[in-house]
């Protein structure tokens, strides 16, 4: 018996990593046969970084950029408040980071052993393989 994981995005690849670590057979299904190269940057907070670390993903390999402070601005872009984030690293072991989604997906796919992604078309309630 195999577990079917629909979608090879961040959540699907995290599920594949967890299955691989637990020795559960799975099949990864997505519209694309490879992790998508497009997308935008993601901000990963310490809890996400800890989860990825627990799954064996080193985000530094995905071209990460640490975020050392955060700003709150008004609608004209004027800084109202600046918050240093160094306390997060001291408390949780990580600073928040910014990473390109495509780089993160490639890193996760590699950490999972580069599993084959079966192409499928996903409908509202039906998968066509």
Q: What are phi and psi of 119, to 5 degrees?
A: -70, 135
Report the relative pairing of strands 79-84 and 26-30 from DSSP bridges.
unpaired
- pLDDT tens, position by position, for the chain (129 residues)? 889 998 899 999 999 999 999 999 999 988 877 766 667 888 999 999 999 999 999 887 677 788 899 899 999 999 999 999 999 989 998 889 999 888 899 889 999 988 889 888 765 444 444
Task: Give the bridge partners for 4, in sequence order.
Answer: 27
Distance CA 37, CA 31 (A): 13
Distance CA 119, CA 35 (A): 11
User: 3-128: which CATH topology?
Assistant: FAD/NAD(P)-binding domain (3.50.50)
What's the burial of 44, exposed, middle or buried (CB within 10 Å: 0-12/13-18/19+)?
buried
Domain boundaries, given as residue ranges, for the chain: 3-128
């Amino acid at each position: 018996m195999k577990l079917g994981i629909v979608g090879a995005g961040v959540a699907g690849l995290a599920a594949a990593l967890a299955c691989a670590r637990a020795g559960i057979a799975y099949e990864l299904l997505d519209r694309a046969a490879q992790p998508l190269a497009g997308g935008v940057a993601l901000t990963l907070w310490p809890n996400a970084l800890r989860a990825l670390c627990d799954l064996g993903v080193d985000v530094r390999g995905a071209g990460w950029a640490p975020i050392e402070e955060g700003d709150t601005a008004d609608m004209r872009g004027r800084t109202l408040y600046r918050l240093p984030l160094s306390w997060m690293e001291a408390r949780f072991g990580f600073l928040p980071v910014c990473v390109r989604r495509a780089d993160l997906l490639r890193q996760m796919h590699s950490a999972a052993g580069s599993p084959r992604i079966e192409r499928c078309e996903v409908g509202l309630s039906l998968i066509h393989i």
